[in-house]
Amino acid sequence: MASSKKLKSMVKMGIKILLLAVVTSFSFLLFSPPPKSFYHTLFISTALSDNVSAAQHLWTLTRRPHVAGSEANAEAAAYVLSIFTSCNIKAHIASYGVSLTYPVSRSLSLNRPPPDPPITFSLRQEIYDGDPYADVADQVLPTFHGYAKSGTATGSVVYVNYGRVEDYVMLKEMGVNVSGSVVLARYGKIYRGDIVHNAFEAGAIGALIFTDRKDYGGGSGDARWFPDDKWMPPSGVQVGSVYDGVGDPTTPGWASTEGCERISDEEVDKTGYIPRIPSLPISAQDGHTIMRSVEGQVANQDWQGDKDAPVYRIGPGPGVVNLSYKGESVIATIQNVIGVITGTEEPDRFVILGNHRDAWTFGAVDPNSGTAALLELAERLEKLRKGGWKPRRTIVLCNWDAEEYGLIGSTEWVEENREMLASRVVAYLNVDSAVYGAGFSASATPQLDELLKQATQQVKDPDNSSQTVYDSWVGSSNSPVIGRLGGGGSDYSAFVQHIGVPSADFSFGEGYPVYHSMYDDFVWMKKFGDPLFQRHVAAASVWGLVALRLADEEFLPFNYLSYVSELQKSAKDLKDKVSGMGITLIPLFKAIEELAKAAIKIDSEKKAIIESKGWVSIWKKEHSRVRELNDRLMMAERAFTDRDGLAGRPWYKHLIYAPSKHNDYGSNSFPGIEDAIEEAKNLNTAESWLTVQHEVWRVSRAVRHVSLVLNGELT
């Protein structure tokens, strides 16, 4: 940062302190503390927010590559800890020893039909003109897939589009045999672990996944890619994990504490979550070189690349690749940084905010835009406290490690603290990549929908001060699109899918092409992601405001009627899928109807308590009634979980939200029913359709349990 900026920020800070002093003395004059909503408005005001501070945090966090288990990432943890501590937040590091993999060696060569000579690829991402990180570029890990299988594969190349199940169905129809070949797939539609898994299922012996300009490019003229435009450079490679599980693979279901039990490598293999064929991520330029060696049928139009790409053909061959990868597994120490602001009235109720810190490379977008927002948010909370604010419930700030490998830091922590969390957490609010451009998007468990809408109506759109974040989120439609948390995309997974905590996740931006490449650095953020860092500030505002309302409001701002309409929608979709198969959905529809009644009932109970209180707060007397009602609102989400979990995937306890079996990014409703339908469609036996019916019953029972919890009466 330039020193003139520092001066400006100091002046700005002075004005803010003055303002705070005025606010504080004004409240003294009134002889009673201002209402909580006063502080919430103050929290999102320009008096407290600080874009320069957010930028400084991001710059510091992304000075070096900091993959999980590295010394640089331990240093970043120490930095986060120091900021929490400087904000008077009681903070500590929760460490785990977890199994991570790092690349030892890898190579890729291509034998082409004559006259083209064989090629050995360098597999290097090139530094760019003026790259300020050239001095630490050699600290970026060689391009690889986390948890990839070590081994060699030599085979003819088959192009498989995005590597989805339906792409293989198409190849089969075209009469193409993938067996014994090395597949060339492109990124962009499904989780890379599933690309490798689907390739294995189709009989391939290795997988190469390239970044296609069609999906990650777009510039024209001289400014075709970073640093001239936001797009992925030709040598850019998207690295990432190919692990299909959640948490440390050697401690399934329990925490990786010191000296803990671990399963053997053979047992890890048996789980089926680790790929069984070697794979490598490659650049657009290498992908195209390989593509030029592939002949055979011309691929369909929607399988082709952009206008400058060669013609994509299916193969097999005649190009033959030789892929070799060797990785090493180590038990690495990871650090979650946990900061706690204890609540004054209900210290045993937690509102948890989480973001991961580990990055495949520099991590300016993924994830440290979120970390910068978290730290700026922490600073604002400290300013609020200086102004007299105290939270009713406890606020916990979590900075996770090893998310990139498989949501490991958050999962181990949730597994270790499972019962405490299951009985005390009001909500979990996740932000991974906070900012990669303009435009807000959010996902949540549905009882939080209303709260998200209200909070975004209070925060100014960082790209258009004449409207709110809500206005830009809604756009021209009537209500915003709220995603759901069925995917395995980030650290909310253990909270929602394992223990049933109401959760939300949000970000600003619409995809970013340099994702998981060496070019996800501070320069990219400054030029394209958020030049003024006002989007970081808005992210912290929405995140913090939602947290403050959950932490401070007497009644938890949950609305289960949104859940009802969401479940109704999903159940109606289901109807078409099982029509004519003798499946009855009556128990499910009945259970959802009961839930609607319970949601309305608890709402009127709440109103009755408020009315009986009159205009003078008699909190003490009403305390136990309010608290009992809040407990029902909090625990209702837990009732969507089932002890046994999904069939064959017992870690996933939530019967409404879990990843789909063939795409970890997918967000299905009723994953157990969906899996059973898929199986029944394959087998088409009476027994397999009975399993579908059983899964419908299971979901119906879970939904009924939710009603019972909301009603709060024994049967």
Chain positions contacting Zn ion, by CB under 5 A: 366-367, 432
Three-state DSSP class for 427? strand
Within 13 Å, how many C-alpha atoms sit on residue 565's CB side? 9
- Token duo for residue 390: 């105290």
Torsion of CA 7, 12, 14, 18, to 10 degrees: 170
Rounded to a whole number of angstroms, the minimum distance from the CB of residue 434 to Zn ion is 10
Rounded to a whole number of angstroms, the minimum distance from the CB of residue 403 to Zn ion is 6
| DSSP letter (8 states) at residue 505 | E
Closest to Zn ion by CB, 99 or 369: 369
Closest to Zn ion by CB, 346 or 366: 366
Contact present, 288 and 160 (Cβ < 8 Å): no
Closest to Zn ion by CB, 356 or 460: 356
Contact present, 103 and 327 (Cβ < 8 Å): yes
Contact present, 412 and 254 (Cβ < 8 Å): no
Contact present, 365 and 518 (Cβ < 8 Å): no
Contact present, 491 and 403 (Cβ < 8 Å): yes
Closest to Zn ion by CB, 366 or 505: 366
Rounded to a whole number of angstroms, the minimum distance from the CB of residue 412 to Zn ion is 17
Give the Cβ contact number of residue 9 at 10 Å.
17
Cite the active site residues: 403
Closest to Zn ion by CB, 181 or 410: 410
Rounded to a whole number of angstroms, the minimum distance from the CB of residue 390 to Zn ion is 32
Rounded to a whole number of angstroms, the minimum distance from the CB of residue 334 to Zn ion is 15
- Token duo for residue 115: 């006259």
Query: How far apart (Å, rounded) are the C-alpha atoms in residues 195 and 105?
Result: 22
Contact present, 677 and 495 (Cβ < 8 Å): no
Maximum distance among all Cα pairs of the chain, rounded to whole angstroms: 90
Give the Cβ contact number of residue 212 at 10 Å.
24
Rounded to a whole number of angstroms, the minimum distance from the CB of residue 431 to Zn ion is 10
Angle at CA of residue 227, ends 225 and 231, nearest 5°? 30
Rounded to a whole number of angstroms, the minimum distance from the CB of residue 512 to Zn ion is 11
Rounded to a whole number of angstroms, the minimum distance from the CB of residue 274 to Zn ion is 21
Closest to Zn ion by CB, 366 or 675: 366
Contact present, 5 and 51 (Cβ < 8 Å): no
Contact present, 485 and 568 (Cβ < 8 Å): no
The residues, any chain, with a CB within 8 Å of residue 275's CB and separated by 6 or more, are 145, 147, 148, 149, 193, 196, 197, 200, 242
Angle at CA of residue 402, ends 401 and 404, nearest 5°? 125
The residues, any chain, with a CB within 8 Å of residue 668's CB and separated by 6 or more, are 486, 657, 658, 659, 660, 674
- Token duo for residue 541: 């505002």
Closest to Zn ion by CB, 198 or 493: 493
Closest to Zn ion by CB, 319 or 363: 363
Closest to Zn ion by CB, 525 or 706: 525
Rounded to a whole number of angstroms, the minimum distance from the CB of residue 507 to Zn ion is 10
Give the Cβ contact number of residue 45 at 10 Å.
14
Give residue 580's Cα distance to chain centre: 37
